[in-house]
Amino acid sequence: MTPGQNFDAHSNQLLGAMEPVNRKRIEPHLEPIKLKLGDIVCEAGGLLKHAYFPQGTVLSLLTVLEDGSAIETANIGREGAFGLFAAMYSRVSFNRCLVQLEGSMVRCPIELLQSEFKRSEHVRDLFVSYSETLLSQVQQTVACNAMHSTEARMCRWLLMMHDRAEGEVSHTRTNSVTHVGCQSKIGDACSAIDADSRTGSAIIGVGCKYWIAPVSKRHPANATLS
């Protein structure tokens, strides 16, 4: 990418939060990458050579069990990155990471990020802070899957996907995220869930209550995530 490129709201917010001196060293090494829905970025236990920064893509992190089944524990949009644990400590991925929503994304060599992590206190604080936020999402997902109904879990998942897509939900994109691999996303069968993507509707959850409401008329402040 061109040095000095300005990262706006439609780019990756984690990269945008870096200080100019750090970003200047990183930008020339950022490589745009285009993956399709369902493509695997890295398998659990795989060796990471790059960290991935979504700029429109949404990535799904899945914990893989001994029998081969998997369940989503977190997802990552343009607010974060996949591979920061590898940049800070180990180069091994603890999760399977796949593309949940297609869009743009850039990747950066792990070695470069490791160098910046060691060199800059600001980058260390940024990476650790985001990692703690991601861990909080994992903990919240575990609690929601254990305590709430299938409908409430789907409510939460749809809201998270809508937030990470930043409202860019078309008929095709909505259909792809609500009907592909649904069981791995919320840990249950989804036959009882109905999202009318033709009319731009989504299931909205507030506490333990849920209903169908047009996405265009929903205000995030009116919804409380589990």
Question: In this structure, are 161 and 105 located in the same domain?
Answer: no
Q: Residue 62 sits in which domain range?
A: 13-145
Q: Do residues 202 and 166 share a domain?
A: yes
Tell me if 140 is assigned to some domain.
yes
Task: Determine contact, residues 184/72, Cβ cutoff 8 Å.
Answer: yes
* pTM assigned to the model: 0.72
DSSP for 57-73?
-EEEEEEEPTTS-EEEE
Domain count, the chain: 2
**What's the pLDDT score for residue 1?**
55
Considering the domain architecture, whether residues 98 and 184 belong to the same structural domain is answered as no
Q: What would the pLDDT profile of 117-173 be if each residue is shown by its tens digit?
A: 999 999 999 999 998 888 888 888 777 777 877 777 777 777 777 777 765 544 445
Q: Which residues of the chain have pLDDT under 50?
A: 2-10, 169-172, 174-180, 183, 189-226
CATH number of the domain bearing residue 29: 2.60.120.10
CA distances from 28 to 3, 14, 107, 166 (A): 6, 16, 11, 27
Look at residue 204 in the predicted model and tell me its pLDDT.
42
- Judge whether 174 lies within some domain: yes
Residue 163 lies in a domain: yes
Q: Is residue 5 part of a domain?
A: no
